[in-house]
Chain A
Amino acid sequence: MTKINKSLALMAGVAGLAMSAVTATAEMSYPALAPLGEPPIPLDNKMSDAKVELGKILFWDPRIGGDASTACVTCHEPDQGWAFGDSLSRGYPGTVHWRNSQSVINSAYLGQLFWAGSAASLEKQAPSAAKGAVAGNGENDVMETRMAFIPEYVKRFNDVFGTENPLIGDAWAAIAAFERTLIVNDTPVDKYLAGDTSALTEEQVAGMELFNGKAGCIQCHNGAQATDENYYNLGVPPAERWEDDGLAQVTFRYELYAKGVSQDMYRKLKDDPGLYFRTKEPEHMGKFRTPPLRYTLYTAPYMHNGSFWDLREVVEFYNAGGGENDFTDGTMAATKSELIKPLGLSDEEIDQLVAFLEGFSGEELRVEPPVLPPYEALASE
């Protein structure tokens, strides 16, 4: 079952890629930054207060997972930018993850989830998070059965979905609906772009000009979401933990094994090949999805493996013309984006750009944690 789902998602993913490639090469002007607006709501998963509330409880509930220890919120902590504040995310107990935990804020706008875009919707993303061996490590039938022993879930699922007992697919739909409420679209940048010229400082406005001009950020971070949802290799260096942390080395090899690369690649790879996992095309090695920039003030560290600890480090990285990894120097491939080159920004300009990036974040979004409903014995037959 799992495998079939994965290959369908893969096909959908590839089709999506081909389309975005066409628009990207069509011409040299880029969609301007714009106020974010409201997220798209899929027709087959309409929003309702009851569904969102249910999704919220599930997001906090570690019983949606293997050993009932690791909920979505464990790696997407509201006080860590709804992400996890370490280079590589914490993993399921006994493991460490191999990528940086992404914020779930504004994930509702994205057409391709995860650093390498392997999930095509939030509804499809949630199960792979809950089931992956280094994330939730849960099993559908177990998670579904657990919910049947939580009377409050039985009632809530019945109210929202009309089923006699909770179905695991509906749990993913409810979680997705909750995530569609984790929206930050009123940042200073949004207000400015909507016409409120007082929303940004002069320094930030200067930074925006650099973003759109000399620094060339707009080439990829464009449109209302500040991402073209395309894939690039910037030369982000490989995670340091892979070199000196046994637990991280275990997960690194596990991912190569689990994602199904060739024996030869399994032996040779020492860096995360990103998009390559999905397409197995050598020219996709080391490429990751352009992330949206809103809320990044709260989501350090940055990049797919958390290489950088603050936004200034990120901008300095770009200013130096990006970096080197196993897919830039020809060791495994040479796919570094030609758009990434030394920018010649002065210290002052760097400050301006950082100030502008900070304007993409606004207030922190906090919610009242839900109370988890208890298990109860089923009435006898």
Chain B
Amino acid sequence: MKISRLKSGTALTVGAALMSVTVLAASASAEDMAIGPVVGPEINAAKAELGKRLFFDKRLSGDAAVSCSSCHQPDKAFTDGLALSKAYPGSKGFRNTPTLVNTTLAANWFHDGRIGTNLNDVTRESLTEDYSMNMDMRLMQERVKQDPVYVEMFKAAGYGEPSNGSIRKAIPEYLKTLISKGSPFDNGTMSDAATRGQALFEGKAGCIDCHSGPRFTDDQAHNMGVPENPEIWSDPMRHMTYAAFAQFMGVENFLNIRQDVGAQIIKNPADRSDVAKFNTPTLRELKYTAPYMHNGMFKSLSDIVAFYNTGGEDVPNLDPKVRPLGLTFLEQQDLVAFLEALSGDPLTGPEYVWEGEISTNYPAIENWRDVAN
């Protein structure tokens, strides 16, 4: 776990900040939480263009084998189609890769919500975390400085010389461009089934209690009683990756537990009431992002709706809103139709994808001895 490691230069100070999850959503006004189209932030085009190239560049990982886009793939709405994510070579992931569409508007990040500051910190974490990209950011800076394309792009973006600090600014600028658009829900072209589904979503099924606002999330963690994914505990490479994470997060008995404790790591309440709470995910772009839930335990939206309809599993600290819903089969289908209507156009055009070749060779700096490093 690289938060502690000084490889990343300033990481230590962030460690504390990471743990203070912003509870923005709790105080957000009812108006903010109304559902409707997603409005993206202002974008600096040159910075976003630079961030895009960085996002697709494998040289940003320790052994130059993985880029952000290895796991966050544009044609899958920036997920990877796997129940549990891959990881940096030598490890295997223990969580499902979330979509990055609209992530710029989130109040906190990761399935447990452990980063509540900003995407600069999320980017740092993604780069330096041993099981994601295992990058020493000082080495990353020198790699980027070696590439003449980057030297020009950093200049054009107004950052001057490439530095690890500006890398962590440019990637979030690119993430700002990933905003949902063109869904039947936004366009007003929903089917009758989907329209009926919306009424259930806001009414009888009570989904809106948590899946609210333009992104359909309250940015809060809840225990929904999602079953454990047994593969995390039967595959030693996944289990050890989780165990190292849990150890770093101060989870007691980290080698003996067989449960992803979720948001418990943040405040560590003594009564363990935050165990198995996970962040409410956005419901946009679900068409592209199966399998679902923090551990990929659900393959389809109808499975999820059926799960909700039964009232979930009997687990400690189950969120009281999880209760038998009494939805008929047809109502369940309508609800699924509504969920599907929340997916928009794929963000796969050149505005979103770096389509040029990124060579992993570094050209030598000519007359190296005569120019300043």
Residue B297 lies at the interface, judged by CB distance under 8 Å to chain A: no
Whether the Cβ atoms of B64 and A94 lie closer than 8 Å is yes
- Give bound CA distance, A69 to B142, whole Å: 23
Residue A244 lies at the interface, judged by CB distance under 8 Å to chain B: yes
Task: Enumerate B78-99 residues with CB–CB distance to A below 8 Å.
Answer: 88-91
Of A17-25, A145-153, A355-363, which stretch is located at the interface?
Answer: A145-153
- Give bound CA distance, A268 to B236, whole Å: 48
Whether the Cβ atoms of A257 and B5 lie closer than 8 Å is no
Partner of A67, one of B65, B365, B369: B65
- A254-B138 contact given A139-B130, A377-B234, CB 8 Å threshold: yes
Whether the Cβ atoms of B139 and A243 lie closer than 8 Å is no
Residue A198 lies at the interface, judged by CB distance under 8 Å to chain B: no
Whether the Cβ atoms of B139 and A145 lie closer than 8 Å is no
- A133-B373 contact given A141-B247, A145-B244, A376-B236, CB 8 Å threshold: no
- Nearest chain-B residue to A246 (Cβ)? B362
Whether the Cβ atoms of A253 and B134 lie closer than 8 Å is no
- Give bound CA distance, A226 to B83, whole Å: 60
Residue B215 lies at the interface, judged by CB distance under 8 Å to chain A: no
Interface size on A, residues (CB 8 A): 51
Residues of A within 8 A of B123 (CB): none
Whether the Cβ atoms of A67 and B90 lie closer than 8 Å is yes
- Give bound CA distance, A93 to B134, whole Å: 12
Of B37-45, B252-260, B304-312, which stretch is located at the interface?
Answer: B252-260
Partner of B373, one of A92, A141, A267: A267
Residue B337 lies at the interface, judged by CB distance under 8 Å to chain A: no
Residue B243 lies at the interface, judged by CB distance under 8 Å to chain A: yes
Residues of A within 8 A of B62 (CB): 66-67, 92, 94, 133, 137
Residue A339 lies at the interface, judged by CB distance under 8 Å to chain B: no
Partner of A142, one of B65, B89, B91: B91
Task: Enumerate B4-32 residues with CB–CB distance to A below 8 Å.
Answer: 4-7
Task: Enumerate B111-134 residues with CB–CB distance to A below 8 Å.
Answer: 130-131, 134
Interface flags, B51-82, vs A, CB<8A=1, else 0: 00000000101111100000000000000000
Residue A128 lies at the interface, judged by CB distance under 8 Å to chain B: no
Residues of A within 8 A of B59 (CB): 94
- A257-B236 contact given A3-B6, A92-B62, CB 8 Å threshold: no
- A246-B365 contact given A257-B142, A266-B373, A378-B255, CB 8 Å threshold: yes
Interface flags, B274-309, vs A, CB<8A=1, else 0: 000000000000000000000000000000000000
Residue A121 lies at the interface, judged by CB distance under 8 Å to chain B: no
Residues of A within 8 A of B244 (CB): 141-142, 144-145
Task: Enumerate B329-366 residues with CB–CB distance to A below 8 Å.
Answer: 360-365
Partner of A68, one of B89, B236, B256: B89
Whether the Cβ atoms of A246 and B139 lie closer than 8 Å is no
Residues of B within 8 A of A92 (CB): 62-63
By DSSP majority rule, is chain B's interface helix, strand, loop, or mixed? loop
- Nearest chain-B residue to A241 (Cβ)? B364
Residue A165 lies at the interface, judged by CB distance under 8 Å to chain B: yes
Whether the Cβ atoms of B235 and A246 lie closer than 8 Å is no
Residues of A within 8 A of B195 (CB): none
Task: Enumerate A214-259 residues with CB–CB distance to B below 8 Å.
Answer: 242-247, 249-254, 256-258
Interface flags, B231-263, vs A, CB<8A=1, else 0: 001111101110110011000000111100000
Partner of B257, one of A146, A246, A377, A381: A381
Q: Min CB distance, B215 to chain A, in Å?
A: 33
Whether the Cβ atoms of A139 and B2 lie closer than 8 Å is yes
Residue A346 lies at the interface, judged by CB distance under 8 Å to chain B: no
Interface flags, B130-151, vs A, CB<8A=1, else 0: 1100101011011101100000
- A95-B139 contact given A3-B6, A66-B63, A380-B233, CB 8 Å threshold: yes
Residue A50 lies at the interface, judged by CB distance under 8 Å to chain B: no
Residue A134 lies at the interface, judged by CB distance under 8 Å to chain B: yes
- Give bound CA distance, A250 to B145, whole Å: 8
Whether the Cβ atoms of A67 and B88 lie closer than 8 Å is yes
Residue B105 lies at the interface, judged by CB distance under 8 Å to chain A: no
- Give bound CA distance, A141 to B363, whole Å: 36
Whether the Cβ atoms of A148 and B233 lie closer than 8 Å is no
Pick from B142, B239, B362, B363 the residue with the most CB of A within 10 Å.
B142
- Nearest chain-A residue to B370 (Cβ)? A270
- A253-B142 contact given A66-B62, A142-B91, A378-B255, CB 8 Å threshold: yes
- A148-B255 contact given A68-B89, A247-B362, A254-B142, CB 8 Å threshold: yes
- A66-B368 contact given A137-B136, A148-B243, A249-B362, CB 8 Å threshold: no
- Give bound CA distance, A63 to B91, whole Å: 10
- Nearest chain-B residue to A242 (Cβ)? B368
- Give bound CA distance, A133 to B5, whole Å: 12
Residues of A within 8 A of B138 (CB): 133, 254, 257-258
Residue B270 lies at the interface, judged by CB distance under 8 Å to chain A: no
Whether the Cβ atoms of B130 and A249 lie closer than 8 Å is no
- A269-B368 contact given A93-B64, A137-B136, A380-B233, CB 8 Å threshold: no
Residues of B within 8 A of A3 (CB): 6
Whether the Cβ atoms of A68 and B239 lie closer than 8 Å is no
Whether the Cβ atoms of A377 and B236 lie closer than 8 Å is yes
- Give bound CA distance, A258 to B164, whole Å: 13
Residues of A within 8 A of B141 (CB): 257
Partner of A133, one of B7, B243, B255, B362: B7
Whether the Cβ atoms of B143 and A250 lie closer than 8 Å is yes
Residue A2 lies at the interface, judged by CB distance under 8 Å to chain B: yes
Residues of B within 8 A of A15 (CB): none
- Nearest chain-B residue to A269 (Cβ)? B373
Q: Min CB distance, B290 to chain A, in Å?
A: 27
Whether the Cβ atoms of B236 and A149 lie closer than 8 Å is yes
Residues of A within 8 A of B2 (CB): 139
Closest 5 CB pairs of A and B: A246-B362, A94-B64, A68-B90, A133-B136, A93-B63
Supplied contacts A2-B6, A269-B373, A378-B239, 5 more A-B pairs, CB within 8 Å: A94-B59, A137-B134, A139-B134, A144-B244, A246-B364
B contacts, CB < 8 Å to A? 1-2, 4-7, 59, 61-65, 88-91, 130-131, 134, 136, 138-139, 141-143, 145-146, 233-237, 239-241, 243-244, 247-248, 255-258, 360-365, 368-369, 372-373
Question: What are 13 A-B contacts with C-beta separation under 8 Å?
Answer: A2-B7, A67-B65, A68-B89, A92-B63, A94-B63, A137-B62, A137-B134, A148-B240, A250-B362, A251-B139, A252-B373, A257-B142, A375-B240
